[in-house]
Amino acid sequence: MPPSPRRADAARNRQRLLTAADTVLNGHGAGASLDEIARVAGVGNATLYRHFPTRGRLIEAVYEQRITELCDKARELTVAPDPGTALTAWLRAVAAHVATSRLLREAFLADHPGPAGVEPPQAAAWHEALFDAAAPLLARAQDAEAVRPDIDIAELLMFLTAATQAAPQRADRALEVLMEGVLPRPVLPRPGAGTSG
């Protein structure tokens, strides 16, 4: 049975709010105005608060949507014919996310203060979801010998995130250099091997 007009309208409003919040939060960070988000979404403040009673809930929902999209993309790419190209395509999407979410990330962390160096529980859960979704993608690339076998998905994402955060405007270059570093390397003979004494 199709959703009722009221439910469908509520779903559209929620999606408009998430899209607007993504734009406004990434433009203004922790100082973003909820009134501005409602205005950009084309809805009233009451509609915003009906869907997202607090700023924190709205920020989490925006981040959750981004993580869900990345996880869905990873699963879609696990059936792509070229495992190496599929992994690179997914990592490019991750790099784009990191490069375009600096202020969103700051807004999230400002709303979730905690001990230095300790991830908020929700952020840890998002990372775990990304690892779970992308591990098969990396495994296929490794089985196809498109990526060196001695790297795991957590390391790969750590390197990519660090490089992209350092220079978000050069995310494509960061990915290019990273992929060169994870290509399989020929096994070189040990010094002195094969020589007679």
Domains of the chain: 1-53 (1.10.10), 55-182 (1.10.357.10)
CB 134 within 8 A of CB 88: no
Q: Are 159 and 153 in contact (CB under 8 A)?
A: no
Q: How confident is the model at residue 181 (pLDDT cuts 50, 70, 90)?
A: confident
Q: What is the pLDDT of residue 169?
A: 78
| R_g over Cα of the chain | 21
Cα 146 to Cα 142: distance, rounded to the nearest angstrom: 6
Cβ(94)–Cβ(160) below 8 Å: yes
pLDDT in tens, 34-60: 999 999 999 999 999 999 998 889 999
Give how far Cα 161 sits from Cα of 52, 123, 168, Å. Answer: 29, 14, 10
pLDDT digits (tens, 9 = 90+) for 88-123: 999 999 999 998 888 888 888 887 776 766 778 888
pLDDT recorded at residue 2 = 58
pTM of the predicted model, to two decimals?
0.82
CA distance 93 to 77: 12
